[in-house]
Structure 1
Amino acid sequence: MTSGNITEAERAVLDEIEENDVDFLRLQFTDILGTVKNVSVPARQAEKAFSDGIYFDGSSIEGFVRIQESDMRLVPDPETFAILPWRQKDESAAARMICDVYNTSTGEPFEGDPRRVLKNALDRADEMGYEVNAAPEPEFFLFEEDEEGRATTKTGDQGGYFDLAPKDLASDVRRDIIYGLESMGFEIEASHHEVAQGQHEINFEYDDALTTADNVATFRTVVRAIAAQHDQHATFMPKPIPKINGSGMHTHLSLFTEDGENAFHDGDDEFDLSDTAHSFLAGILEHAPAITAIANPTVNSYKRLVPGYEAPVYVAWSDRNRSALIRKPAARVPAASRVELRSPDPSCNPYLALAVMIHAGLDGVQQDLEAPDPVRENIYEFDEAKRDEYGIDTLPANLGEAVEALEADEAISSALGEHIASKFVEAKRQEFEDYLVDVSDWELDRYLETF
């Protein structure tokens, strides 16, 4: 864009900045690991940001570029403008916009931008005649802070699934989080205490996949910021406390045609799923090991993915129970027909995670893959022989195995692009190697005085 070439959406943002007396803009993006980054600029720079972009040093961002090619450009998406809800009464307003990252040397979108990777997946869906809708269910823990403001793993409640106060003492925190999210445009469906002490879930309405990924990144920021106002630490770490349920981010997916029809629905099918839906879920099952590296990207993720804690580890699907990797939720109306992938956790990069899910599903549709029969029994109760009988594989047992699966899966690696695939594998291989050579407290407690 050239200076002065302001679109109607951008003009609306400029008007809103003036009307709400916004002083600062946070131009937000994520690195390949999903960490939210931002460049803060005075609000008076908004028109320049729209017309020329804002330049920054990409060499300091995880997985972006080398020092000799470090200049990058942020181009804000005006549709993502929102005023931040956690300012103090005496503070001026601040707002954020989510940005796309461009390469200054070529003027083209940067291939290492996770948001671009998701857009590429959506372009593929569009070429096939589909729009992708998604709805995540991110879970998180609220822990108390110590006297120095550092996070502990002490919870402030004794609540369980769907409990009310006084057991659920964090209901006020959840309420303020919801108010903050709604002020930023979220449509909240429900919130409740989860199974574990200190664990919570807030569900927001499904949307197109790009908006959903933006919302997940925003959600994590808002939850942490408002929890901190209550002297609580919010964490999306998958398994912060051993031997209890971990936090997942079950993700619902559906395809809609250009005329607004749900491509996943077929009322004549036993499961109300179309052939397209069957092939889509078959594609996800086919690529599940590689998806796991992206959707469960930390060493800690695999402390959640173990049998016995309601986390799916078995590569199968079901229309009835939650022990399978993919579930077909009950749908009251045709437009709600969808599939639910239950393995992702909220530590993932939402742009990359949704991108690989979509590519895997579309790969199944293009190859016309046939889904296996659903497993209606509780797979957690199967022994190895019975799992073999049903042909049920397991997800990678650790981050190292998941990275190996990603490297071996050409379709998923290609979906990420050469830049992100190589940088992600490099970072995660190093993380796993660091974990392998570390000595944990568990090992010291068990072995130090015994041997």
Structure 2
Amino acid sequence: MTSGNLTDTERAVLDEIEEQDVDFLRLQFTDILGTVKNVSVPARQAEKAFTEGIYFDGSSIEGFVRIQESDMRLKPDPDTFAILPWRQKEESAAARMICDVYDTYTGEPFEGDPRRVLKNALERADEMGYTVNAAPEPEFFLFEEDEDGRATTKTNDAGGYFDLAPKDLASDVRRDIIYGLENMGFEVEASHHEVAEGQHEINFTYDDALTTADNVGTFRTVVRAIAAQHDLHATFMPKPIPRINGSGMHTHLSLFTEDGENAFHDEDDEFNLSDEAHAFTAGILKHAPAITAIANPTVNSYKRLVPGYEAPVYVAWSDRNRSSLIRKPAARTPAASRVELRSPDPSCNAYLALAVMIHAGLNGIEKDLDCPDPVRENIYDFDEAKREEYGIDTLPSNLGEAVDALEEDEAIYNALGDHVSSKFVEAKRQEFEDYLVDVSDWELDRYLETF
């Protein structure tokens, strides 16, 4: 007998829990740095989770709260219910739901919850008459494990871009990952081997921005879990191997109006982009340095963002080539008109990254920013003088510069909220300082016996 306070969706989840013989629920949420956390509860607690929430100690989560204000509450989103695909058939099922975090004392949504930060951005878009759709392209590497089950950087194949077996030895792994994703509600569009050895990409369809951010966390979890079943380690580290291409997470964005029309499409424009799309693009270009701190949040991210490895470092846009920061992809239909930000990498917190992209673009629309002309030449071939002639700036070259840019950009810093912005900057400043005082193997190999 269930409570009368439940929604129809919550009742449907309870019914499915019973039908699928689910014994445990993983209530997932994300910390400020993008790490997926979970509280596991018996499935019989599902109704209580919906009506009262599940309490946990927020002081143990990176960037959440201090010890004296540690009681937090998880409220599951029933729309995110999914059976976990990697349990053995003879076992009873386990399922997950993604949660919003609430402050126990105030009863209000917790301002340090990254999902809340994205919802704030979407509420701003809604007030302006838009819904936001997004589609990421997270790349990852598959590495062999050693005899102790620890990750190595030895790839399990020697394939290249779009290669087939026998060079691409991971096609069976990608197949199993796709089955797992589809079992969790994903609509997978394509998968292929990427440019570097051991590097892969699986694309899933666009969706509203909140669902997309939820999906990124699920994607990383499924990829890792199923790779482990094949005795492989999947990593979303941006640059695990030097001097080859790193892993990006190109992100496609579009706005739709209240009547369901694509606000980015204009048949009469040379690039089939509306005034809103041009202004949105201008907003992202203007705030690109600050966005980089969120979309490329690790020291390692900047080993990918260097010229020569197909990663965008130049603040420009193009309708043709991939050397620019933003690309306007070809669109078969008006509904498919969109812009693609190519700098993010898959180590980012997708909720925060999408939030700052959206705020930057909306700032561009609100201020009616002029979008510069597209650069149709290969910017990788430009020297510094020609980049200056075209007025092309570069992204921050390291995490320290990116965090400086974030603190200096009032619009993007404030978009994160006081709690997240201060905690994020604190954590990333510490990470960069730790990096600066460390001594790498490269330095030892180069200098130890030379000097």
Task: Specify if TM > 0.5.
Answer: yes
In the alignment, the residues of structure 2 paired with residue 333 and residue 77 of structure 1 have an alpha-carbon distance, to the nearest angstrom, of: 33
In the alignment, the residues of structure 1 paired with residue 46 and residue 356 of structure 2 have an alpha-carbon distance, to the nearest angstrom, of: 33
Contact 1:141–1:200 (CA<8 Å) still a contact in 2?
A: yes
In the alignment, the residues of structure 2 paired with residue 210 and residue 71 of structure 1 have an alpha-carbon distance, to the nearest angstrom, of: 25
Task: Give the match for residue 399 of structure 2.
Answer: 399
Contact 1:3–1:48 (CA<8 Å) still a contact in 2?
A: no
The one-letter code matched in structure 2 to 1:399 is: L
Contact 1:289–1:396 (CA<8 Å) still a contact in 2?
A: yes
Contact 1:323–1:378 (CA<8 Å) still a contact in 2?
A: yes
In the alignment, the residues of structure 2 paired with residue 182 and residue 205 of structure 1 have an alpha-carbon distance, to the nearest angstrom, of: 11
Q: Secondary structure at the match of 1:276?
A: helix
Task: Give the match for residue 345 of structure 1.
Answer: 345
Q: Kindly, what percent of the aligned residue pairs are identical?
A: 89
The one-letter code matched in structure 1 to 2:273 is: L
Q: Offset of 1:89 from its aligned partner? A: 2.9
The one-letter code matched in structure 1 to 2:410 is: E
In the alignment, the residues of structure 2 paired with residue 192 and residue 424 of structure 1 have an alpha-carbon distance, to the nearest angstrom, of: 34
RMSD: 0.7
TM-score normalised by the chain length of structure 1? 0.99
Task: Give the match for residue 301 of structure 1.
Answer: 301
Q: How do 1:6-405 residues align onto structure 2 when only pairs under 5 Å count?
A: 6-405=6-405
Contact 1:17–1:43 (CA<8 Å) still a contact in 2?
A: yes
The one-letter code matched in structure 2 to 1:343 is: S
Q: Offset of 1:4 from its aligned partner? A: 4.1
In the alignment, the residues of structure 2 paired with residue 181 and residue 15 of structure 1 have an alpha-carbon distance, to the nearest angstrom, of: 22
In the alignment, the residues of structure 1 paired with residue 260 and residue 39 of structure 2 have an alpha-carbon distance, to the nearest angstrom, of: 38
What whole-Å deviation, never above 9, does each CA across 1:55-105 have from its counterpart, x for those lacking one? 000000000000000000000000000000001233210000000000000
Q: Offset of 1:3 from its aligned partner? A: 5.9
In the alignment, the residues of structure 2 paired with residue 361 and residue 437 of structure 1 have an alpha-carbon distance, to the nearest angstrom, of: 37
In the alignment, the residues of structure 2 paired with residue 4 and residue 447 of structure 1 have an alpha-carbon distance, to the nearest angstrom, of: 71
Q: Which runs of 5+ in 1 are unaligned?
A: none
In the alignment, the residues of structure 1 paired with residue 4 and residue 444 of structure 2 have an alpha-carbon distance, to the nearest angstrom, of: 64
In the alignment, the residues of structure 2 paired with residue 227 and residue 87 of structure 1 have an alpha-carbon distance, to the nearest angstrom, of: 14
Q: Secondary structure at the match of 2:137?
A: strand
The one-letter code matched in structure 1 to 2:166 is: P
Q: Secondary structure at the match of 1:237?
A: coil
Q: Which runs of 5+ in 2 are unaligned?
A: none
In the alignment, the residues of structure 1 paired with residue 91 and residue 401 of structure 2 have an alpha-carbon distance, to the nearest angstrom, of: 48
In the alignment, the residues of structure 1 paired with residue 135 and residue 111 of structure 2 have an alpha-carbon distance, to the nearest angstrom, of: 26
In the alignment, the residues of structure 2 paired with residue 388 and residue 6 of structure 1 have an alpha-carbon distance, to the nearest angstrom, of: 60
The one-letter code matched in structure 1 to 2:178 is: I
What whole-Å deviation, never above 9, does each CA across 1:232-265 have from its counterpart, x for those lacking one? 0000000000000000000000000000000000
What whole-Å deviation, never above 9, does each CA across 1:391-434 have from its counterpart, x for those lacking one? 00000000000000000000001110000000000000000000
TM-score normalised by the chain length of structure 2? 0.99
Task: Give the match for residue 415 of structure 2.
Answer: 415
Structure 1 stretches of at least 4 aligned residues deviating more than 4 Å after TM superposition: none
Contact 1:3–1:52 (CA<8 Å) still a contact in 2?
A: no
The one-letter code matched in structure 1 to 2:46 is: A
Task: Give the match for residue 441 of structure 2.
Answer: 441
Contact 1:72–1:104 (CA<8 Å) still a contact in 2?
A: yes
In the alignment, the residues of structure 1 paired with residue 427 and residue 156 of structure 2 have an alpha-carbon distance, to the nearest angstrom, of: 35
Contact 1:4–1:51 (CA<8 Å) still a contact in 2?
A: no
